[in-house]
Amino acid sequence: MSARLPSFFRYRGTTARPFVILAAFAIAFALLPTYASGEVGSANVFNVFQALSGIGLVALALGLTMIIGEYDLSVSSTYLLGGMLAVKTGGDSPFLGVVVAVAAGLLVGFIQGFLVAKLRMSSMPVTLGGFISLLGLVFLISNSKSVNYSDLSVSIWLNDPVMSIFSARSLIAIAIFLIAAAIFAFTWLGRDVRAVGSDREASRTAGVRVDSIIIGTFMSSAAISCFSGALLSYSLAYATPNRTVAPLVFATTMALLGGVSLSGGRGFPLGIAAGAISLSLLNEGMAVTAAQPYVTYLVTGGLLVVVTIIDAPHLLRWWKTVKARNNIGFRGGSGQLATTKAGDR
Amino acid sequence: MSGAATTADPIAVRDNRATAIQVALWGSLAIFAVLILFGAFTTDGFLTTTNVKAILSSVAFVGMIAVGTALIMISGNLFSLAVGSTAAACAMSFLALLPDGIVLAIVATIALGAVLGLIQGLLVGGIGANPIIVTIGAASLIQGVALWASSGATLVPPKGDTSYEWLNGHILTIPVPVYILFGAVILLDLLLRRSRFGRQLKLVGENREAARAAGLPTTWIITGAFVLAGVFTAIAGVELGAFNESGSLLIEGNLTYDAIAAAVVGGVAITGGRGTVWQALGGAILIAVISDILLLRDYSEGVQILVKGVIVFAVVILTRLNRMRLES
């Protein structure tokens, strides 16, 4: 491959897409005061990076499973679970709370990954079970109520601005993204992970330890998701149980904007970071203009549907069929399509 | 008898495997039934008329959505995470249109459900978009539109309006929605078994590319499954609107998970191609009975959700293990 970009940023020809999208969102955001009412400043950039440490990390977690050609529905529950466990067990030592949250994530990820790898199950039914069970667990340990975290100094430490646009929390998230990016760029792991996502059987034949990669990916995914939940709950100083699949909507949109494909084999951590920042900029834009809650629902849902359509495997086939039909002057009945030559009118 | 099942006779082997599946299925069902019956009869207040009516009502709502979900599953497109939002939005639309007459309210609401299903079905069936992602996106959009149209308010029926009361009525002490559910199940069962659509639906669910190669209109078959799911979810929405006499997005509650869990627990194959609406109904009854027992025994909401999740987990793992054993 050519050396147009350093390997840190490069993956096939699609590398640039997430960054182009990010640039477009950033320009639209910076120019916001020119076409809408609202001020844009460093506080907004601060918020965008804060979001990177919350839902952005969930996007990384989900994106990793999407790169190996799976989909971890349970991230929205592990996100809640991590926060709830951290708040419940971190009363004396916030560090202990994080350890418990991450350990729970590793365990959940191991169970789900084991079922997907060893029993060759599809990740959808497995993570559906995980999603509902863990949601129940969150409601169970919280007794269906919000739980407060008494040590406010942790929240202050995490959220205190650093260089006016960062915080300890967002710097931790950026570090995790950079570590993941380095692993993808400089070790065999990144190559193997994508290989498993592209063609599992071929990878197996080529000597890739497919099962270990799958289990490892699910463990990292759930652990990252739990960790970001813990960070969020500490920074809010409370954890709350709810049934919303909003984290799933945001994280999936971020991953797809970031160049990950649902069919697997494509994507890289910095792209996911770019996708996460893009969507966070959009959300921040809606916050700045004081958009109604329904606008947020419509924009995020609409954007997800649009990126899903672009990512859909048969979009091209559908478009070719439409074009072919127009060419032959489609006269009804699909049989005609097969027997009539293009251009025959 | 076992002598016939040598490797030289693949048909006999296949027959034996089929029998083994049957035995395993019925065996686990029987064990489960015994556990449930034990739980039921040792729970105070389970065998009362009020409680049985409460279970039936719950089955009527969840079952209606579960049979729709079963169609999506059979078509090989997993499940829809938008059914709860669809039901809530339909309950709201029903209540909002009640002042214009109940017939219009019901017809328009069912049409709304059909259109929502049509759009999602075209995306999934036409261009192969991932059903889970399409439906979570759709759920978000539906919630947005519902919030916008209702201005965030809870909808209530017009004062003094009794035109919808029959939906909450009883015939021979059984709630009306139960009859509607049974009618729907019988109709859909006939459709699945006797119609060309039903047979094609299973073929598409078994192997979409093969069905397409064989010339089946896969786009329209999958879209059909989503439209029907939308219609039955909308009917559940109408019933829920009449039952609660108030409509907001909160109606969603656990409906989505309950409906999916019902179809999975009933034995509809989550990977497509196999399953009946009767199974989804059975699953809905099971889920309703379990929820009821847990509620009567004063278990928290968390335990109730957790138990359903664990059951879904157990069923999908057992199904897979069973298949692996039979394939080896």
Range of the domain at B38: 1-42
Residues B35 and B121 occupy one common structural domain: no
In this prediction, residue B13 has a pLDDT band, given cuts at 50, 70 and 90, of: low
- Per-residue pLDDT, B34: 81
Q: Are residues B137 and B65 in the same domain?
A: yes
- Residues 177 to 236 of B: which have CB under 8 A from any A CB? 215, 217
Q: Is residue B328 part of a domain?
A: no
For every residue of chain A, which 3-state class applies, written as one string?
Answer: CCCCCCCCCCECECCHHHHHHHHHHHHHHHCHHHHCCCCCCHHHHHHHHHHHHCHHHHHHHHHHHHHCCCCCCCHHHHHHHHHHHHHHHCCCCHHHHHHHHHHHHHHHHHHHHHHHHHCCCCHHHHHHHHHHHHHHHHHHHHCCCCEECCCHHHHHHHHCEECCCEEHHHHHHHHHHHHHHHHHHHCHHHHHHHHHHHCHHHHHHCCCCHHHHHHHHHHHHHHHHHHHHHHHHHHHCEECCCCCCHHHHHHHHHHHHCCCCCCCCCCCHHHHHHHHHHHHHHHHHHHHCCCCHHHHHHHHHHHHHHHHHHHCCCHHHHHHHHHHHHHHCCCCCHHHHHHCCCCCC
> B108 with B145, same domain?
yes
| Contacts with B148 from chain A: Cβ below 8 Å | 292, 294, 298
Number of domains in chain B: 2
**What ranges do the domains of chain A cover?**
16-313, 314-345
Of A124, A300, A311, the CB nearest to B132: A124
Q: B184 and B35 in one domain?
A: no
The larger pLDDT score, comparing residue A145 to residue B322, is at A145
Contact assignment for B141 to A248 by CB distance below 8 Å: no
Residues B144 and B25 in one domain: no
Average pLDDT score over residue span B117-121: 95
pLDDT digits (tens, 9 = 90+) for B28-48: 677 777 877 877 788 888 888
Using the beta-carbon criterion (under 8 Å), do B147 and A297 form an inter-chain contact? yes
Residues of B within 8 A of A129 (CB-CB) are 309-310, 312-313, 316-317
Q: Do B204 and B222 fall into the same domain?
A: yes
Cα angle value B167/B169/B172 (rounded, 5°): 130
CATH of the domain at B233: 1.10.3470
Whether residues A122 and B271 touch (CB distance < 8 A) is answered with: yes
Q: How far does chain A reach from its first CA to its final CA, in angstroms?
A: 46
Ordered mean pLDDT values, 10 residues apiece, chain A (345 residues): 42 71 90 81 87 93 94 93 93 91 96 92 90 94 89 84 87 94 90 89 89 95 95 90 86 92 87 94 89 89 90 80 71 41 36
Distance CA A281, CA A286 (A): 9
The amino acid at residue A45 is: V
The per-residue pLDDT for B102 is 92
* pLDDT more than 70, % of chain B: 91
On whether both B109 and B30 belong to a single domain, the answer is: no
Q: Quick check: B144 contacting A, CB < 8 Å?
A: yes
Mean pLDDT, chain B, integer: 87
pTM of the model: 0.86
Domain-embedded: residue B327: no
Interfacial B residues in 108-137 facing A (CB < 8 Å)? 123, 126-130, 132-134, 136-137
Q: With an 8 Å Cβ cutoff, are B140 and A249 in contact?
A: yes
Q: Which pair of tokens denotes residue A299? A: 């924009």
Residues B20 and B116 placed together within one structural domain of the fold: no
Q: How confident is the model at residue B1 (pLDDT cuts 50, 70, 90)?
A: very low
Q: Is the domain of B114 the same as that of B248? A: yes
Which of B140, B268, B307, B322 would you mutate first to test chain A, the one with the most A CBs within 10 A?
Answer: B140
Report whether pLDDT(B251) > 90. no
Say whether both B25 and B171 belong to one domain. no
Cβ–Cβ below 8 Å for A130 and B313: yes
DSSP state of B174: E
Q: Is residue A234 within 8 Å of A150, Cβ to Cβ?
A: no
β-pair type (A238-239, A147-148): antiparallel
Chain A nearest-CA distance from B60, in A, is 22
Q: Using 50, 70 and 90 to split pLDDT, how confident is the model at B11?
A: low
- For A200-240, the pLDDT digits (tens) are 889 989 888 999 999 999 999 999 999 999 999 999 988 88
Q: Is residue B318 part of a domain?
A: yes
Kindly give the interhelix angle for A246-257 and A293-311, rounded to the nearest 10 degrees: 50
Indicate if B55 and B35 belong to the same structural domain.
no
On chain A, the residues whose CB falls within 8 A of the CB of B324 are 119-120
Q: Which CATH architecture has domain A16-313?
A: Orthogonal Bundle (1.10)
Residue A141 CA, distance from chain mean position:
26
What pLDDT is recorded for position B292?
87
Does residue B124 sit in the same domain as residue B249? yes
